[in-house]
Amino acid sequence: MLSSVRLIPRAVWLVHSPICSSSRSFMDLKVLLSSLNDFASLSLAESWDNVGLLVEPSPPHTVHTLFLTNDLTEKVMEEALQKKADLILSYHPPIFRPLKHITWKTWKERLVIRALENRVGIYSPHTAYDAAPQGVNSWLAKGLGVCTSRPIHPSKAPKYPTVGTHRVEFSVNCTEDPDKVISAVKEIADVSVTSFSTRTDDEEQTRISLNCSQEALIQVVNFLSQSRQFYQKTEILSLEKPLLLHTGMGRLCTLDESVSLATMIERIKSHLKLSHVRLALGVGRTLESPVKVVALCAGSGSTVLQGTEADLYLTEPSMQEVFNKHE
């Protein structure tokens, strides 16, 4: 059976003042954003997330003071303005759903107004920092003890290694004109073509391989369907973006040596500098039960952890979906 550790409510974290980093040096906003993207590309963020530069003062904008916070509230905004911040990096995006109006009516609208009035940019990395190799999930894993870890849901590269999303391959025998076929295919937009000689059943053939986009694939298939010989020999492959090493959502951590649940809880509390965490014990589990495998996910990670086998789950509420899976 399983156990889960749930981090204490996020409001408790907010009693700590956000970190403010200031120096005599300065950096252009665009250059700073490029540096932030080098640390963790925004392409790593989940598709549902709202990350990146959320509020931008009119350019040019120079950043002397970068203000860091977990959540940007009105009180935090007031502190940032007192610190004369030029850019606020808020881990959680203060703007998540589209704003239809920018008025003084709601606190999120007021954040935008105050930021623009005071020429303060707002940037949020959120799940991009969760997925990064040296991001939040990797940092959480360091508190477990000596272990090996891997992403539960690995991230994929932002681009395909080659042009297009599909590969189409077919053969042209010696009775046909390969050059004519290649020329016709090249006239289709978003198509790259290569060819090479091959021999099948003692017959010389030209193997044609082309990469194309989803839109171009329809035109390619229409062209090949005009010749029964081409169409019957056609293979269509869907290309996958390559997985990124040590990058992705969640971490599945296998300890070098098992420890008791009580010991693991103390390690987690020490690493997070917390006096308390919430623990849900699985049926038949005690504080002396051994822990060898830990599945973790920053934030509310029930969907990430779903279906993952582990002795301990480390996340925030709600864990109900995981519990139902193991009943």
Query: Which parts are annotated binding residues for a divalent metal cation?
Result: 92, 130
Read off the tokens for 48. 């549902």
Candidates 166, 155, 195, 165; CA nearest to 178 is: 195
Candidates 282, 260, 293, 279; CA nearest to 326 is: 282
Contacts 24+ apart (CB under 8 A), 80-84: 80/18, 80/20, 80/120, 81/114, 81/118, 81/120, 83/20, 83/22
Residue 235's φ and ψ, nearest 5 degrees, are: -120, 130
Rg (CA), the chain: 27
The H-or-E segment that residue 292 falls in is strand 290-296
Q: Rounded to 10 degrees, what is the CA torsion of 217, 220, 222, 223?
A: 180
User: Do residues 235 and 132 touch, judged by C-beta distance below 8 A?
Assistant: no
The H-or-E segment that residue 122 falls in is strand 121-124
Cis status of the peptide bond prior to 318, with omega within 30 of 0: yes
Residue list, annotated binding site: 92, 130
Q: Residue 143 CA to chain centroid, in angstroms?
A: 22
Strand-strand pairing, 19-28 and 191-200 = unpaired
Torsion-angle region of 183 (φ positive above 0: left; ψ -120 to 50: alpha; else: beta) = alpha
Tokens 């990797």 found at = 138
- Read off the amino acid at residue 320: Q
